[in-house]
């Protein structure tokens, strides 16, 4: 199985870490790299091929929109690589700009793990890479309680199983 590689570009460390952790928890075999801005991303994109780019819009030195435009101007895989903009800029003008530049999809901030993963799966499916990473996805991620349980248990499925077996089947009346 070939590794699926994702580049996460955001100037906020906690967002980069949150996105990478969400991806690695859902797809344990996924390879992630990160960059603090568009310029640093360009350096990585010139050295390594990625199957998906998740990029913030507003960053110093080079914005996500500028990075997207640069990618689409290249005469290699970057012309068509899935590019998801992670942004709080949801107004019509910005959406139109990004679509014209060739964005694949958007994830609005703030976002849940489920929202992010839905967009990532959709983008990877379009380029035939979803099956490669889904084989490593744990079944527990299909639970609607996943975000809350992951936050409470640190993503440890065994904690959820032991808690559910210890919990009473019904709540006694007072």
- 42: closest CA among 76, 87, 2? 76
Which stretches of the chain score pLDDT less than 70?
A: 1-2, 136-174
- Looking at residue 142, its pLDDT comes to 45
Strands (E), the chain: 5-9, 31-35, 52-56, 83-87, 105-108
pLDDT of residue 171: 52
- Which CATH superfamily does the domain covering 5-136 fall into? Response regulator (3.40.50.2300)
Question: Looking at residue 119, what DSSP letter applies?
Answer: H
Angstrom distance (rounded) from CA 62 to CA 147: 32
Give per-residue pLDDT as tens, 36-71: 999 999 999 999 999 999 999 999 999 999 999 999
Q: Where are the domains of the chain?
A: 5-136, 138-167
pLDDT for position 160: 46
Beta carbons of 87 and 94 less than 8 angstroms apart = yes
pLDDT on residue 93: 83
Please give the pLDDT value at position 148: 47
User: What pLDDT score does 92 carry?
Assistant: 80
The predicted pLDDT at position 2 comes to 62
pLDDT for position 63: 94
């Amino acid at each position: 199985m070939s590794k699926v590689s994702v580049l996460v570009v955001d100037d906020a460390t906690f967002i980069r870490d949150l996105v990478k952790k969400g991806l690695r928890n859902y797809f344990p075999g996924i390879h992630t790299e990160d960059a603090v801005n568009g310029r640093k991303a360009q350096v990585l994109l010139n050295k390594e091929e990625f199957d998906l780019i998740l990029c913030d819009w507003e960053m110093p030195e080079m914005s996500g929109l500028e990075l997207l435009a640069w990618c689409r101007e290249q005469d290699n895989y970057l012309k068509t690589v899935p590019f998801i903009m992670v942004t709080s800029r949801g107004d019509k003008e910005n959406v139109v700009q990004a679509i014209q530049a060739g964005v694949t999809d958007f994830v609005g901030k703030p976002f849940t793990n489920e929202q992010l993963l839905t967009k990532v799966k959709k983008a990877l499916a379009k380029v035939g890479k979803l099956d490669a990473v889904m084989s490593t996805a744990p079944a527990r991620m299909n639970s609607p309680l996943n975000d809350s349980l992951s936050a409470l248990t640190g993503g440890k499925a065994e904690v959820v199983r032991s808690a559910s077996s210890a919990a009473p089947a019904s709540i006694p009346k007072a």
